Copies of this chain bind each other. A is one copy, B any other.
């Protein structure tokens, strides 16, 4: 069972689970050879996988190093959220490890990602797979894997991004510029079931806009979202999605953030979202009972500044989702 191309986590935290005050590192269970069978049989709310692939990025990217930095950063976070007066320890979270990657065969990487997602979704139908990228090319594979597990279900996408990710696959293949188009062209997701929030400025070309309009992709610029309220905008998108699809896939491209808050992405931009806005957006999304899977992508720790604002924002985004999820109706 569970013969998936997934390696054990790159390292294990020494955990002390008995303290009143718990760090995230002491709370999340990690798949470990000696204890594997018992672990795999448990009921999990969330299954975390790393997808350390970024050689599929248009510009040079070290997003493949984020899963390891993500785990390292757990020690800076408590499980208790003072904003909501809740403790995440009530959730059961498993770190399953990292999907196996090949150095030069990007197709192999992509099929491993799809296969892993399909396997996890089948094995843990009541858990949310939360994938830590890697670049945005992985989302096409993850959603395809989900679809393969639940072929009869309609899937919608809620995307926070500075980009539409609708580039033509003929130009450069399944790169981090194409995942949404990839899914539309392959009939996995309808354009009208994609909601992109956070676009701004001079970072998308007309061909993408044309395609978005043709396919009825819903996109709301950051400016519009701020005018209507970030939380209200996300709530409305969720509501519309809930009325149209069975499952919502949430994909968070960390480059949606402003360069002042998140220098550690391959093509950081000025004029983007603030972290408090993103956290609000993600908490709101986490409350939807139709959210079926999540990913965080395009966070390159090699480009982060020395205080690691982007890596920390990545972990905080993950925990914000869990906070919303814990509050689910």
Contacts and interface: CB of A to CB of B under 8 A. Distances in A.
A1 interface: no
A4 interface: no
Nearest to A312: B270
A78 B204 contact: yes
Given A60-B54, A64-B60, A80-B206, A104 B12 contact: no
Contacts of A62: 60, 62
Contact of A270 (B13, B88, B275): B275
A220 to B, nearest CB: 11
Interface string A77-88: 111111101011
Interface string A58-71: 10111111000000
Given A60-B61, A269-B312, A82 B201 contact: yes
A306 B309 contact: no
A202 B78 contact: yes
A150 interface: no
A66 to B, nearest CB: 10
Q: By DSSP majority rule, is chain A's interface helix, strand, loop, or mixed?
A: loop
A219 B165 CA distance: 43
A208 interface: yes
Interface string A8-42: 11111110000011101000000000100000000
Copies of this polypeptide in the complex: 6
A104 B221 contact: no
Interface string A227-269: 0000000000000000000000000000000111101100111
Nearest to A162: B82
A92 to B, nearest CB: 18
Contacts of A177: 103
Contacts of A9: 14
A55 interface: yes
Given A82-B204, A205-B20, A306-B305, A8 B14 contact: yes
A307 interface: yes
Given A78-B203, A83-B200, A312-B269, A174 B21 contact: no
B205 A78 contact: yes
Most B C-beta atoms less than 10 A away, residue of A14, A203, A204, A303: A14
Given A173-B102, A173-B104, A200-B83, A206 B20 contact: yes
Contacts of A263: 305-307, 309
Contact of A172 (B21, B103, B200): B103
A299 to B, nearest CB: 12
A103 B175 contact: yes
10 contacts: A10-B13, A20-B206, A21-B206, A54-B60, A60-B64, A60-B300, A78-B205, A83-B201, A104-B175, A201-B319
Interface in A188-207: 199-207
